[in-house]
Amino acid sequence: MNKAVFQHINKFVSIDENEFDDIILYFTRRSAEKKALLMRPGDLALHDYFVLSGCLHMYFTDKKGTEHTIQFALKGWWLADYAALQGKKPAGFYMQAVEDSELLSISQTKREELFRAFPKMASYFRAVYQIAYGAYQTRMKYMLSYSKEEIYFEFRDSYPEFVNSVPQYLIASYLGLTPEYISKLRRKGIFAAAQASIKPLK
């Protein structure tokens, strides 16, 4: 598992194995069972989470009690309440394990210690946050520019790993659609694929 983390860091900054042996000590390994809550609104002890295996999602509930997913993290992704972390404010969201998950976590305090000891890790996390913000911008483009049908198919084509791994009701929550509508679109997509594979008779 540590090899995956080492490789992920080296996508953005260059570290050797000796540095990594020291860097990894700032992180804590933890397991989260399916549906376990890792964060609640108002929490002050906040963490960044790296998914070694499994899946996390972050959400809030509206006044009617309806959940709205705003972000996911699959294997090799980071997830945190970035605004709360950066502003050192209470969490504004729930974070939950979608399935049994293995994680690495780092607290605010440990993260600051890590940056002082290894300044290049600040560059690494900055790149991670930029990717997360880019994903948010893409999502807003979907929501503001596309029809409901286009939103789903654009998301499916851009992130097939989500469609294959994440429960349908959570995808619906993330895209602002209903599970029933996504079922309808999936059937339509399967039918279209089947039609395209049929070779005309000569």
Q: 157 with 132, same domain?
A: no
pLDDT band of residue 202 (cuts 50, 70, 90) is very low
Residue 1 in this model has a pLDDT that exceeds 60: no
Residue 14 in this model has a pLDDT that exceeds 90: yes
Structure confidence at residue 129 (pLDDT): 87
Q: 112 with 154, same domain?
A: no
Structure confidence at residue 146 (pLDDT): 85
CA-CA distance, 66 to 118, in Å (whole number)? 42
Q: What whole-number percentage of the chain has pLDDT above 90?
A: 49
Q: 169 with 131, same domain?
A: no
Identify whether the C-beta of residue 152 lies closer than 8 Å to the C-beta of residue 182. yes
CA-CA distance, 158 to 146, in Å (whole number)? 14
CA angle 24, 109, 61 (to 5 degrees): 100
Domain count, the chain: 2
Tell me whether residue 116 is exposed, middle or buried, using C-beta atoms within 10 angstroms of its C-beta: 0 to 12, 13 to 18, 19 or more: exposed
Give just the sign of the alpha carbon dihedral 4, 109, 60, 155: negative
Q: 76 with 106, same domain?
A: yes
Residue numbers of the domain that contains 192: 146-202
Q: 70 with 28, same domain?
A: yes
Identify whether the C-beta of residue 84 lies closer than 8 Å to the C-beta of residue 129. no
Give the three-class secondary structure for 31. strand
Locate 59 and state its tokens. 């959400």
Question: Mind listing the pLDDT tens digit for each residue in 156-180?
Answer: 888 787 777 788 888 888 888 888 8
Structure confidence at residue 141 (pLDDT): 81
Which of the listed residues 139, 167, 185 is the one where a domain comes to its end? 139
Strands 28-32 and 101-107: antiparallel
Find the mean pLDDT for residues 106-129: 94
Q: 77 with 131, same domain?
A: yes
Q: For the chain, give me the number of helices (H) and strands (E)?
A: 9, 8
